[in-house]
Each structure stands twice: as structure tokens, then as C-alpha cells.
Amino acid sequence: MATRIAMGNNKGGVGKTTVTVRTAEALAALGKRVLVVDMDPQGNSSRRLGVVGDLGKRTISEAIKANTLGAAANSIWPCGWDAEYATRIAVCPSTLALEDRMSEAGVIGAHRRLSIALDGADDGFDYTLFDCPPSLFHLTQLALAAAQYAVGVTEPEYYSIEGALRFRAFVEAQGTNLSNPELSMLGVIAAGYDVRKPAHLGQLEALPETFGDLLWQPTIPVRTAIQDADESQGPLLAQRTDGGREARALFGQLAERLIKATS
Ligand SMILES: Nc1ncnc2c1ncn2[C@@H]1O[C@H](COP(=O)(O)OP(=O)(O)O)[C@@H](O)[C@H]1O
Ligand SMILES: [Mg+2]
């Protein structure tokens, strides 16, 4: 089984998808095989990994609905990027139809359906990363029930940090209720800091006290290359600027941190 990690925050727009996709890219560049499971019905990580067009019934929504062992195998797509290491990245994509799974939230045992769908399906990967929606409800709970670890992602802003703290508290309190008592917080990644914003610098300084040892280094600054890679639905590798090279190096360090934390 792959090492499964849920990336989350109770707030949107804090860099969850960016960090998930770029960490997957960096892990693949280091030789690891990575499955990204898009648990946000917005489908942003699916698109950013180049999985576009008609997905038919091969999305993570159908795999969860199936409620059978290994059903996710039928929903695994290759990453659409033109890069050698992209062959080591695969995606269980989502569409807006993933919202339909919310109606099952009250069904006994429904929180285990993603875990069941992945068992046997992600054996060929070193890591499975879940890109969570900005909520702590059913779709995030499916990911937390399937994962060994959770990683918080936050911008250095008051409301984003509050969202990360709610995510951490939820992870630490609800493992047993999610049939996953071993679930634990692995780290917190601070991303999207903007040196032109005095508030960011102040919050950045306070983060080590807020998250203690959970806070991973390095933090990720705002860079045009990161947004351009996201918008073009391609790899950071294609961003041949100083900012692109810097971002690749920083995510490479985060990927090494993740490997160290899980081995
Ligand atoms: N470090 C960064 N530098 C530049 N743009 C970023 C950075 N991190 C995120 N973004 C951009 O900010 C927006 C929101 O990020 P996203 O990862 O989609 O947030 P979330 O998944 O938490 O909702 C996206 O347009 C993304 O490209
Ligand atoms: Mg997102």
C-alpha cells in the first residue's frame, strides 16, 4: 500500500491544490511514484495535472460510490504533462459530480468508502496524496479515513491559519470516529507568502510558535512561475525563469522533508 497523506485546510484559496500538485511533481522528480486523488469537486488538481476532457465514469466519485475493494483502479488516469517524471504521476480525478457523494454522508460506514476503493488500487505507488476541499465534512472525512497522515497547508494570514488550526484539531480528535485511530498530523506547510505584505511577514514569524515542530521548512513564497504553471496546467519544469527554478528547488526540499518524515 502507498503511504497516504491528506492535504487540507478548512479554508479555500490557501494553496492546498498548488502544494499538493507541486509536491507530487517534486516527489516524482525524486523517483517516487505518486497518485493524486482529487477530493475537491472543483477538480482543480485534476486539471492542473493535465487530466482534461470527458472523464466518462472514470472519476473518484464512481470509485467511492462503488463501495468495492480496489474500485479506484478504474479511475486512475496518467498525468497529462510532457515531462519524463510525469510518467510516475497518476491522478484519480474529480468533477462536480463528486458533490453527489455528499448525499451518502449519513449512511453507516460511508466514510470508509474511499479507503475501500483505494485498497489494492494504490499498491503500485509510493505515495497517495489527497487534495481535500475547503471543508471538514464528508469529502475531507473520506480522505482522512483513508490516510495514515494529514498535512496542513496555510497562507501566512489570520483566517488561513485559523482554518489550518481547525484542520489540525479535527485530525487530532476524530481519527477513532473515522475508523482510523492511527491517523496523525505529519506537518504543516506554509505557502504563498508575499514579502510586500507586512501582515504576511508578521504571521510568518509567529508560525513556529503556533505549530511548533509540525511546521516544515522551507516555506513557499508567491511566485509568478507557480501561478503560471497552475494556469497552463503544466509542470513547474516548463517555467524556465529564475522564479520557476527557485520554486522547483523549494518544493524539492519539501518533498525530501516528506520522504524523511514517512520513512
Ligand atoms: N506560491 C504561490 N505563488 C503564486 N500563486 C500561487 C501560489 N500558491 C497558490 N497560488 C495561486 O493561488 C490560487 C489559489 O491556490 P490553490 O492552490 O488553488 O488554493 P486552494 O486549493 O487552497 O483553494 C491559485 O490560482 C494558485 O495558482
Ligand atoms: Mg484546491
Give the ligand at the shortest distance from the Cα of 14: 1
Substitution candidate for ligand 1 out of 227, 232, 246 with most atoms within 8 A of CB:
227
Nearest-CA residue for ligand 1 atom 16 is 15
The pLDDT tens digits for 102-160 are 999 999 999 999 999 999 999 999 999 999 999 999 999 999 999 999 999 999 999 99
Q: Is 21 in the pocket of ligand 1 (CB under 6 A)?
A: no
Rounded distance between C-alpha atoms, residue 149 and residue 171, angstroms: 9
184 conformational bin, left if phi > 0, alpha if psi -120 to 50, beta if neither: beta
Q: What is the pLDDT of residue 18?
A: 98
Substitution candidate for ligand 1 out of 230, 233, 246 with most atoms within 8 A of CB:
230
- What average pLDDT does range 198-214 have in this prediction? 95
The pLDDT tens digits for 10-29 are 999 999 999 999 999 999 99
The pLDDT tens digits for 59-96 are 999 999 999 999 999 999 999 999 999 999 999 999 99
pTM of the complete model beyond 0.75: yes
68 conformational bin, left if phi > 0, alpha if psi -120 to 50, beta if neither: beta
Pick the CATH number of 3-262 from 1.10.287.130, 3.40.50.2020, 2.60.40.3500, 3.40.50.300: 3.40.50.300
Q: Is 14 in the pocket of ligand 1 (CB under 6 A)?
A: yes
